A and B are shown apart, each in its own frame.
Chain A
Amino acid sequence: MAIIVDRETRLLVQGLTGREGSFHATRNKAYGTNVVAGVTPGKGGEEVEGVPVFDTVEAAVAETGANTAMVFVPARFAADAIYEAVAAGIETVICITEGIPAHDMLRVYNHVRPRGVTLVGPNCPGVLSPGKSNVGIIPAEIFREGTVGLVSRSGTLTYQIGHELTQLGIGQSSIVGIGGDPVVGSSFVDVLERFEADPETELVVMVGEIGGAEEEKAAAFIEAEMSKPVVAYIAGFTAPPGKTMGHAGAIISGTAGTARAKKEALEAHGVRVGTNPTEVARLAAEVARAGTPG
């Protein structure tokens, strides 16, 4: 099973002929991901490492049966690429591109959401289901197959915690980098919901950081809706306070967005919070072992 990407994933890469796109798509393919097509307008008919390139997503889907799109096109064309993928019937869009204007993503999100399309990112490392499929830039060699779901706003911190877990002998079902932009396609709650429903996942490690109120929402969701244990880590206890953003932000979220506030919210809902990556891995190992029968 795993979530979002697995053996059923038929990947189409928007921006396959670009430097980053070809590099990472090739890595993904080498991992075993079923990379079926690339799309670069005007380059239809070419091939990249044996992957056929099409001019439009529609043609690529018709020809290859692609069901998942990975977006690697430059920021100013990325929103357009997502709209095209959705119009062509793609079910899952994973957007790696960073630097997309927030207003563009606001419109993309509100367009995509009611259509039932899963959008991960933008500005995220992608999704890896160890042993099955890797879509994005997550270095797969750090991780190994197992039953811990990992969801995070940050790339390298995810790798750090995954590495610590793997060193303790704890493998992962799926690793989801949701990205840290103001508007992301999938929130913590969206991903937690999927881990809860995934039979392979037995425990979830959630890696948050300062800003916004998504960790607080996740805390309430975990208590109300989740039967599986969740262990959390929050980065940024000593981070300098952000720029003055007026007062509107705090009023909306009803929280200061600080690491302390997030930790307290999580603990209030019964989620254990580690104070550094090593400790959170240790906590996860403890919970995982306690949950193993015998």
Chain B
Amino acid sequence: MAAAVDLYEYQGKQLFARAGIPVSEGRVAETPAEARTAAEELGGQVVVKAQVLVGGRGKAGGIKLADSPDEAEAYASDILGMDIRGHVVRRLWLERASEIAKEYYLSITFDRGEKKPLFMLTTQGGVDIEEVAAESPEALAKLHVDPLVGFQPWQARWLCFTAAIEDVGEQKQVAAIVENLYGAFVDFDAMLCEVNPLIVTPEGEVKALDSKFTVDDNALYRHPEVGEMRDVEAADPQERLAREKDVTYVKLDGEVGILGNGAGLVMSTLDVIDQVGGRPANFCDLGGGGDAEGVVAALEVITTDPQVKAILFNIFGGITRCDEVARGILEALERMTIEHPIVVRLDGTNAEEGRRLLAEASPANLHVEETMLSAAERVVELSR
């Protein structure tokens, strides 16, 4: 699974500003007192915005307009700690309030099918853009960029005219933003740069009022400053532990802890657990590993999750050898105390040797199954 780093609104706006895209002046605050100071410094009306990596902040009450530093402080104490669709607000962005005459939408993203970057621009911004795409597709101007040629000025003109932006002053500003957004997309190895809304003020000034900025994980070596923006605290505590131990881990909601090798096989294991009536608590992908160190690290992460009642190892040995995984499991059981029942299914390279090693040691809580289905059934039974 290719991963990407999602940035907070304020981080995306920092990158926009560096790329020459106009944004409002603002400040980050993590306490109500900081919010007050920020409002004082900014002066006048400010918007207090929850910084979370999930949509629907406004509807959830995470965005408020404050007329004074007092109000900004009061809103900040309401919003900090708020739970927005499972994301706890720990940071705010305060910026000078903007008057809005029009709301547009602009984005550039990877079109995986065409294998080209794709611009989308519409004057019907601010709302759910999927609705615009579904109900009035003619209002959505879409244009691919040949990555070998790069952005050309005609493309910005084409987008403006096709989206029916008629004011000449707006056209010029939007065209410059389109060009700079392409620059940001390429320069920061972004997978998505979205501005919704892109506003026009009553004075005719165009600027980005929000940002969604997603950067390719694989390219972070070129952008250490973006890597530092990644919010490690936003992750679940087990996910953080997993990252420290370099294990791929995802927290879910059921009772069965799952260890597998390879993303596809792990996903398939989740499905099979579900099909036999169980619910996965989490999953760890050992990847190509499977040595004792890797198995111990994964088991440590999995067993810190209090919801886990039973654990399933589903390993298909390709390059990974099943006898090594079996040794890893046995060594892990010696090095740490695990009370949970563990079901192990080994198949592929050296599977027989692996099963023999497990059978010889036969720890009391270890159950060996021959197939993926029977292992899933067994572990679900044991998780009840």
Contact = CB atoms under 8 A, between A and B. Distances in A.
A joins B in a complex: yes
A183 interface: yes
B192 A249 contact: yes
Most buried by B among A111, A125, A154, A238: A238
B116 A110 contact: yes
B154 interface: no
A251 B129 contact: yes
Given A109-B115, A110-B146, A250 B219 contact: no
Contacts of B250: 240
Interface string B102-127: 00000101111101111010000000
A276 B372 CA distance: 9
B274 A238 contact: yes
Most buried by A among B112, B146, B148, B260: B112
Given A99-B218, A160-B347, A276-B373, A138 B268 contact: no
B214 to A, nearest CB: 6
Interface string A209-225: 11111100100000000
B328 to A, nearest CB: 16
Nearest to B217: A99
Nearest to A242: B1
Interface string A123-137: 101000000000001
A157 interface: yes
Interface of B is mostly: mixed
Given A103-B147, A103-B189, A152-B264, A238 B271 contact: yes
B221 A236 contact: no
A235 B271 CA distance: 7
27 contacts: A102-B189, A102-B216, A102-B219, A106-B117, A110-B147, A110-B148, A156-B262, A160-B316, A182-B191, A183-B112, A210-B267, A214-B113, A235-B264, A235-B265, A237-B271, A238-B271, A245-B192, A246-B194, A247-B196, A248-B192, A249-B109, A251-B130, A252-B112, A275-B275, A276-B271, A277-B372, A278-B371
Interface of A: 75-76, 99-104, 106-107, 109-111, 113, 123, 125, 137-139, 141-142, 152-160, 163, 180-183, 207, 209-214, 217, 233, 235-240, 243-253, 259, 275-278
Interface string B342-379: 00000111000000000000000000000111000000
Interface of B: 1-2, 4, 6, 53-55, 107, 109-113, 115-118, 120, 128-130, 133, 140, 146-148, 186, 189, 191-192, 194, 196, 212, 214, 216, 218-219, 221-222, 250, 252, 260-265, 267-268, 270-275, 280, 316-319, 347-349, 371-373
A166 to B, nearest CB: 11
Closest CB pairs A-B (n = 10):
A154-B264, A156-B262, A157-B264, A101-B219, A248-B109, A156-B265, A235-B267, A246-B194, A246-B212, A236-B267
A102 B273 CA distance: 33
Contact of A75 (B147, B218, B273, B316): B218
A235 B268 contact: yes
Given A102-B191, A238-B274, A243-B4, A160 B222 contact: no
Most buried by A among B115, B261, B264: B264
A250 B182 CA distance: 20
A249 B263 CA distance: 21
A239 B262 CA distance: 14
Contacts of B272: 276
Given A159-B348, A160-B265, A213 B318 contact: no
A155 B264 contact: yes
B234 to A, nearest CB: 11
Most buried by B among A180, A250, A251: A251
A181 B112 CA distance: 10
Given A139-B348, A152-B264, A235-B264, A246 B117 contact: no
A103 B186 contact: yes
Nearest to B252: A240
A163 B130 contact: no
B110 A106 contact: yes
A176 to B, nearest CB: 14
A106 B189 contact: no
B372 A160 contact: yes
A276 B133 CA distance: 35
Most buried by A among B55, B111, B186, B263: B263
Contacts of A159: 316, 318, 348
B194 to A, nearest CB: 4
B53 A243 contact: yes
A262 to B, nearest CB: 12
Nearest to A160: B316
Contacts of A110: 115-116, 146-148
Nearest to B110: A182
Contacts of B316: 156, 159-160, 163
A239 B116 CA distance: 28
A248 B120 contact: yes
Contacts of A139: 317-319, 348-349
A219 to B, nearest CB: 14
Nearest to B271: A237
B52 to A, nearest CB: 10
A288 B347 CA distance: 24
